[in-house]
Amino acid sequence: MREGYATLRQGNEYSAEIVEKRSRFIAQLVHVSSEQEAEVFLAQVRARHHDARHNVPAWILVDGRERCSDDGEPQRTAGMPVLEVLRGAGLADVCCVVTRYFGGTLLGPGGLVRAYTAAIQAAVDSAAQAGGIVEMTLVTRVTCVLPYAAYGRVERLVSDCSGHICDTIFAEDVQLTCAFRSGEEQAFVDTMCELMAGEDVCKVGNPMFSEF
C-alpha cells in the first residue's frame, strides 16, 4: 500500500485554456473519490460544453483504478496524454476533462498530443499556484484516556513521537485523539504503557489517508 499521494482540495474546480491553430482546449480538473463521481463530473462538463466537438476524460483513483478516453480523437492522441500528466504529477483521486472546440485546422497526431498535454499541465499548474494540491499521508490515529495529572507529560510525548493532537475532550478524565504517520504510532503506545504502569490506555485505529 502506498504511503502517500497528492490530490486536489475537495469542492474546487481548477481549469486552464490554451489555443492551438484556433482550436480551444479547456482542461477542467476536480477531486473525485469514486468512478461514479468521475462519471458525474464528465456528464456535467458535457452538458456545460454541449456544443464542443470533444470532451476527453481521464481519471485516477488512489486504489489504482484509472481510465481515459479519446472521445473521437485519433487513438492515443488525447486521453492517454492527459492521463500521463496526471500520473507524472503524482495525483490520485482526480478527474480531468479536456474540452476541445475545433478551430478548422487539423493538428495531426503530434499536434493533438502536444495540445492536450499542454492544456492539462496548465490546469495542474493553476491548481498548484492556487494551493489546491494537498499531500495525503497514511495516518494512524490513537485515542487514549488519562488522568489530568498526566496531560502535560502526554502532550509533550505526542510531539516527541512526531505526532500531533487532533482532538481533546475534558471530562472526568482527559481523552486525547492523536495522529501519527502509520508505523510511528507504536513508539507512543509503548511509552504510554510504561507511563501508565502497564495499563493499556490506548486504542489504535486503522490506517487511513489524511492530511498530516
Return d(Cα 107, Cα 101) in angstroms, integer: 13
Give the per-residue pLDDT at 166.
94
Phi and psi at 73, nearest 5°, equal -75, 160
pLDDT at 1: 54
**Which pLDDT belongs to residue 154?**
95
Three-class SS of 13-65: EEEEEEEECCEEEEEEEEECCCHHHHHHHHHHHHHHCCCCCEEEEEEECCCCC
pLDDT over 70 percentage in the chain:
99
In tens, the pLDDT along 92-138 reads 999 999 999 999 999 999 999 999 999 999 999 999 999 999 999 99
H-helix or E-strand spanning residue 177: strand 174-181
Whether residue 198 has pLDDT greater than 90: no
pLDDT at 199: 86
Distance CA 20, CA 133 (A): 27
Options 3.30.390.50, 2.60.40.1080, 3.30.1330.100, 3.30.70.240; which CATH number does 137-210 get? Answer: 3.30.70.240
Q: Which CATH class is domain 4-131?
A: alpha beta
Q: Is 73 helix (H, G, I), strand (E, B) or coil?
A: coil
pLDDT of 143: 97
Sequence ranges of the domains in the chain: 4-131, 137-210
Half-sphere exposure of 41 (CA within 13 A, CB side): 27
pLDDT digits over 62-81, tens only?
Answer: 999 999 999 999 999 999 99
pTM of the shown model: 0.80
Count CB atoms within 10 A of the CB of residue 5: 18
